[in-house]
Amino acid sequence: MTIRILTAGDHFVLNSLFLEALRREIPGDFETRELTLPWPLTPFGRVGEVNEASDVEDELIAALDGVDVCVTQMAPLTEKVLAAAPRLRLFGVSRGGPVNANLDAATEAGVAVTFAPGRNAVATAEHTLAMLLAATRRIPATHGDLAGGVWRGDYYRYESVGPELAGSTVGLVGYGAIGRKVAAMLRGFGATVLVHDPYLAPADAPEIELVALPELLERSRFLSLHARATAENRGMIGKGELAALPRGAVVVNCARGSLLDYDALCDALETGHLFGAATDVFPEEPIPAGSRLLTAPNLVMTPHLAGASKETAMNAATIVAADVARHLRGDLPLHLANPDVLARARG
Find out whether 234 and 204 touch, Cβ atoms under 8 Å.
no
Find out whether 123 and 267 touch, Cβ atoms under 8 Å.
no
Buried b (16+ CB within 10 A) or exposed e, 53-76: bbbbbebbbebbeebbbbbbbbbb
Q: Please, which residues have CB within 8 angstroms of residue 345's CB and are 6 or more apart in sequence?
A: 89, 110, 112
Residue of 304, 326, 327, 335 marked catalytic: 304
Side by side, which strands form the sheet with 274-279?
209-210, 192-196, 169-173, 222-225, 249-253, 274-279, 299-301
> Quick one: CA dihedral 37, 24, 177, 164, positive or negative?
negative
User: Is 196 among the residues known to form the active site?
Assistant: no
User: Is 285 among the residues known to form the active site?
Assistant: yes
Find out whether 275 and 248 touch, Cβ atoms under 8 Å.
yes
> Quick one: CA dihedral 288, 293, 295, 298, positive or negative?
negative
Residue of 79, 218, 285, 344 marked catalytic: 285
User: Is 304 among the residues known to form the active site?
Assistant: yes
Residue of 95, 127, 226, 256 marked catalytic: 256
Q: Please, which residues have CB within 8 angstroms of residue 315's CB and are 6 or more apart in sequence?
A: 116, 118, 119, 120
Half-sphere exposure of 295 (CA within 13 A, CB side): 5
Find out whether 160 and 137 touch, Cβ atoms under 8 Å.
no
Positions annotated as catalytic residues are 256, 285, 304
